[in-house]
Structure 1
Amino acid sequence: MVTNVITKCNGKDKVVDFRDKLSRSLPDEYAMMHQSGGKKNGGKTFPSVIEMVICDFTKGTGDKSVTCSVNIDPTMFDEWLTVCRCNVGTMAVPLIGRVAKDAQKPWETVLAPNAVNGLMKSIHRTASVAKAYGSLLSKSVSIVAKAVKGAEKKDILMAAGTVLKEARTAIADADIGTALKFPHRMDYQYAMSKVNTYKKGTDGFAPVSMLTVTHDSVRQDGDLAMYPWVLKITNGDAKVIEQATGATTFDGKSMRNKVEVFIQVSDRDMYRMMYRVTRFIETWENAMCIPVIIEGENKKEAERQEYLARQKEGV
């Protein structure tokens, strides 16, 4: 049996997949390539989308499983792939660089600390001074206490000397290496909600789908998240609200038959899925839209020639 699943990812008792529901535009709208939907040429057309489906088997399979779906604009996948690419590898900022040894001979260079190097040392010195100052304050109390108790003068001086030596060691320049390295990470949030007014019932309610996509690089305990992506879909029915401008939305407080599922995904799996979906969309456009573009261009040229012929007859 033919399947329209482009790619998928399995989690613990959960699975998410992305399905082909793309639809090419009509020749009269060839430049759009993707169908926008609505009634055209006496018939109903459906918008070109990619469907995301999440199934939760936590409570069991069959009737015990929970499934939600949402239709997504094809352009979103390139945006998500861009975020995926920003979450690959480790950033390395050099702390030294080559500079001209002599202004008259710029081709002769030497390695020297750069501006980032100076900034890192300044930060280190500031932190070290704060640490040394705190140590001085806390240990000075002990020295004063010894003096109050009548300790030997030499013992007090030795204690003070030790404290000053520790403070001096704390503010000494540290070896900060040749590069500042840290994980290459970017956080991200996206939210979308849709109401299907074409399926509005006589009671004014219509199907609603909501989607949130987030990437949180760091967990609450400060460690890097192994599954930083969270995909969540909410399905249900809600009261349709028609605005004066003709736009439609829904009353969130009236939501009924609400069903919600989510899945956590690793950076690697998200990258793999977004790459496969974007490549499929590009391949689909080349395979399915080129004939429509050619037909549309031919129709446009025929209309232009017909217009020129009418103009010539009218002269």
Structure 2
Amino acid sequence: MVSTIIAKANGKDKVIDFRDYLNLANTDEYAMMHGIGGEKHARVSVIKVVICDYTHGTGENSKTVNANISPTTVAKLLEVCKRNIGTVVLPNDMAPLVEQRVHQSDMKKIANMQFGVLRQVIKFCKSIQNAAQAKKMPGLDVIAGSLVAMLEKEKTAVLEPTQVQNGGFFTYPAHCDITHVQDRVHASKQGPDGYAPVQRLTISHQTYRQDGSLSRYPWYINVTNGMAKVRVSDIGATSFDPSSLKDTEEAFINVSEDDMYRCMVRVERYIDAWEKLNCLPLIKEGLARRQSEVESYRNQQKEGL
């Protein structure tokens, strides 16, 4: 039997795969290329995410859940994967970095001055105290002159120009986190009781664990399938009542950076190949039909004259 699986990744007693459920737009909507769903459009074009959980065994003891993501979501997740590759290298002589180091150096000099002033004042007060006890108290002019001389030394250190060494570089790991949450209700499959199938999906990337350590499996994918009552807004948009959610089945999997990157690259490249293979003929046919309509309209205008 032909498989629609584009890419998959294995976890401990779990598997996730990404499947081809792409659909062409109608010829009259050729510029969309992908179907967007609804009564007046072609069937929605998606990539199906399937998680199989064998934690409690195979067969009837296993769980399989699925959710759909758009081609655009695939592109967004791939961008996050790319931003988590390698190490960022920055030269030390970048203007903002030089300015920051100068500022930090100035703040350090001010802090040193404040501590120096405190130290000098304490030293001076002890000298006066000792002189008073020895009944050899100097005059006010001597006291003031000595204090000024001490504080001038601290002031001079702050006024000296700040020298910052440039050149070289520093590095830091490239990290980017994301949380993608979506709810979908298949209103077209609504039953007589008002309930319809529901998909809840969470895809997140968390670089660090709660204890502050670097995560080896930073990608978290959770899917919940169930039934819920359909709600229709005044403008016809469909959603579901979360409080009515029932018959749920849930599964999750943690995926490594390498596995997620590999899967997203394969899915993105498949979508690109699919568009080249299927959308180019669609666009060609759509443009031809559009040109035919334009010419027909022009002929009608001429006949009207």
Q: TM-score, normalising length from structure 1?
A: 0.75
Counterpart Cα distance in 2 of 1:95 and 1:15 = 45
Change (3 A) 1:281 1:117: same
Aligned length: 256
In the alignment, is the contact (CA less than 8 A) between 1:121 and 1:176 conserved in 2?
no
CA contact (8 A) 1:96 1:117 kept: no
Cα distance change, pair 27–265 in 1 and its aligned pair in 2 (3 A)? same
**Contact 2:182/2:201 (<8 A) preserved:** yes
Match of 1:296 among 264, 279, 286: 286
Contact 1:95–1:116 under 8 Å retained in 2:
no
Q: 1:311 to 1:177 in 2, by over 3 A?
A: closer
Q: Distance in 2 between matches of 1:309 and 1:187?
A: 57
Which residue of structure 1 aligns with residue 86 of structure 2? 89
One-letter code aligned to 1:219: R
Q: Aligned runs of 1:60-71 on 2, under 5 Å?
A: 60-71=57-68
Whole-Å separation in 1 of the counterparts to 2:45 and 2:194: 26
Q: Go from structure 1 to structure 2 and tell me whether the alpha carbon gap of 1:187 and 1:120 turns closer, same or farther (over 3 Å shift).
A: farther
Q: Aligned partners of 1:231 and 1:200: how far apart in 2?
A: 27
Q: Which runs of 5+ in 2 are unaligned?
A: 120-162
- Among residues 191, 196, 209, which one is paired with 1:206 in the alignment? 196
Give the distance between the partners of 1:287 and 1:120, measured in 2 at CA.
58
- Equivalent residue for 1:118? 102
2:14 aligned residue: 14
Match of 1:110 in 2: none
In structure 1, C-alpha distance between the alignment counterparts of 2:216 and 2:105, rounded to whole Å: 32
Task: Name the residue aligned to 2:30.
Answer: 30
**Superposition deviation, residue 267 in structure 1:** 1.1
- 1:19-60 residue CA offsets vs partner (Å, 9 max, x unmatched): 0000111211111101122335xxx84211110000111111
Task: Using the aligned pairs only, state the percent identity.
Answer: 43
Map residues 45-194 of structure 1 onto 2, 5 A cutoff. Answer: 45-96=42-93, 114-118=98-102, 125=108, 178-194=168-184
Match of 1:103 in 2: none
Shift of 1:80: 0.5
Residue aligned with 2:244, SS: strand
C-alpha contact 2:91 2:167 (8 A) present in aligned 1: no
- Of stretches 114-123 and 255-264 in structure 1, the one that deviates more from structure 2 is 114-123
2:5 and 2:20 in contact (8 A); partners too = yes
Q: Is the 8 A contact 2:98 2:166 kept in 1?
A: no
| Alignment counterpart, residue 245 of structure 2, candidates 245, 251, 255 | 255
Structure 1 residues not aligned, in runs of 5+? 100-112, 137-172
Could you give the per-residue CA deviations for residues 49-108 of structure 1, whole angstroms, max 9, x where no partner exists?
Answer: 1100001111111111111001111111110111111111112222247x9xxxxxxxxx
Runs ≥4 residues deviating over 6 A: none
TM-score (norm 2): 0.77
Q: Any idea what the Cα deviations from partners look like across 1:246-296, whole Å, max 9, x if unmatched?
A: 212111111111111111111111111111111111110000011111111
Q: Which structure has the highest strand share of the two?
A: 1
Looking at structure 2, the residues matched to 185 and 86 of structure 1 have their Cα atoms a distance apart, in angstroms, of 6
Q: C-alpha separation between the residues in 2 aligned to 1:36 and 1:219?
A: 38
1:290–1:222 distance in 2 versus 1, CA, 3 Å: same
Distance 2:265 2:284 in 1: 28
Superposed, 1:213-232 pairs within 5 Å as 213-232=203-222
Structure 1 contact 20–49 (Cα < 8 Å) conserved: yes
Structure 2 equivalent of residue 161 of structure 1: none
**Corresponding residue of 2:145:** none
Superposed CA RMSD: 2.7
2:232 aligned to 202, 221, 242, which one?
Answer: 242
- How many Å separate the matches in 2 of 1:187 and 1:121? 33
Q: Which residue of 2 aligns with 1:282?
A: 272
Asked if the contact 2:93/2:167 (under 8 Å) is kept, the reply is no
Cα distance in structure 1, aligned partners of 2:88 and 2:293: 56
Please state how far the C-alpha of 1:183 moved relative to its aligned partner: 1.0
3-state SS, counterpart of residue 241 of structure 2:
strand
242-251 or 200-209, larger mean C-alpha shift: 242-251
SS at match of 1:306: helix
Specify the structure having the higher radius of gyration (Cα): 2
**Paired residue type of 1:240:** V
For 1:268 and 1:177, the matched residues in 2 are separated by: 34
